[in-house]
Structure 1
Amino acid sequence: MPSPLGDKMRTLRKQKRLSLEQLAELTDSSKSYIWELENKDVPRPSADKIGRIAAVLDVTSDYLLSTETSSPDQQVLDQAFFRKYQGMPEDTKKRLRQILDAWDNDE
């Protein structure tokens, strides 16, 4: 029986149009391990693995592990975006800041 973690992973993976194999590759996991997380009540996956999966699915680890929320709210999406932003090369960050500045000047 799938856990809330598994249900969230499957839903988000499908929304991103990723196969089990693609998600496994992007998270340095095996396809069978991702399948087990999605379809069985796997006891305590590692924090590292959950972190990698959350990063690829653009959510937070807390969201994936939470039993209280079934879809990510704006705060979860913002936190995931900020984490992605922090890992970007400095030139990409600079371009994004320029885009945001241009939008601010349009108002």
Structure 2
Amino acid sequence: MTTPIGEKIRTLRKQKGFTLDRLAELAESSKSYIWELENKDPPRPSADKISKIAMALDVTPDYLLTDAVAVEDATDTAFFRKYRTMDPSTKEKIRKMLDLMGGDE
């Protein structure tokens, strides 16, 4: 029996072209654990596991755990989280790329 969290993980994993093995590697988990999350109704996973899976899928843990967050919002939040930790020269390159793409409109 698939759960909403399992369906979200599977959908995002496939959109990114990740195998179960690849997502497990990125989330520091096992393939069988990811499969179980996608396909069964396991006990609620730990916050640490959800956080690592969300980070690997470029969304927020809130997106995986609730119905209230749109994937676009979760993806943007995950991007901003990464952006905040970038060095200043990388941030400047991203801002320049955005300007070239017409991102100020």
Deviation at residue 81 of structure 1 after TM alignment: 1.1
Report sequence identity in percent: 60
Could you say what the CA RMSD is over the residues aligned between the two structures, in angstroms?
2.4
d(CA) in 1 for partners of 2:69, 2:51: 18
Aligned pair partner of 1:86 in 62, 84, 91:
84
Residue by residue, what CA displacement relative to the aligned partner does 1:22-51 show, whole Å, maximum 9, x if unpaired? 000011101111111111111111111111
Unaligned runs of 5+ residues in structure 1 are none
Q: Which residue of 1 aligns with 2:48?
A: 48
Q: What are the within-5 Å matches in structure 2 for residues 56-67 of structure 1?
A: 56-66=56-66
Aligned length: 105
Partners of 1:9 and 1:24 in 2: CA distance: 11
Q: What is residue 97 of structure 2 aligned with on the other side?
A: 99
| 92-101 vs 29-38, which moves further | 92-101
CA contact (8 A) 1:8 1:70 kept: no
- More deviation, 42-51/92-101: 92-101
List runs of 5+ in structure 2 lacking aligned partners: none
C-alpha distance 42-88 of structure 1, shift in aligned 2 (>3 A): farther
Cα separation, partners in 2 of 1:32 and 1:50, compared to 1, 3 Å:
same
Give the 3-state SS of the residue equivalent to 1:58 in structure 2: coil
Q: In the superposition, relative to structure 1, how do residues 69 and 5 fare at CA in structure 2: closer, same or farther (>3 Å)?
A: same
1:82 partner SS: helix
Which is bigger in relative contact order (C-alpha 8 A, separation at least 6)? Answer: 1
Q: Per-residue deviation at 1:89?
A: 3.5
Deviation of the 1:90 alpha carbon: 3.5
Shift of 1:69: 5.1
Counterpart-to-counterpart distance in 2, 1:70 and 1:81: 15
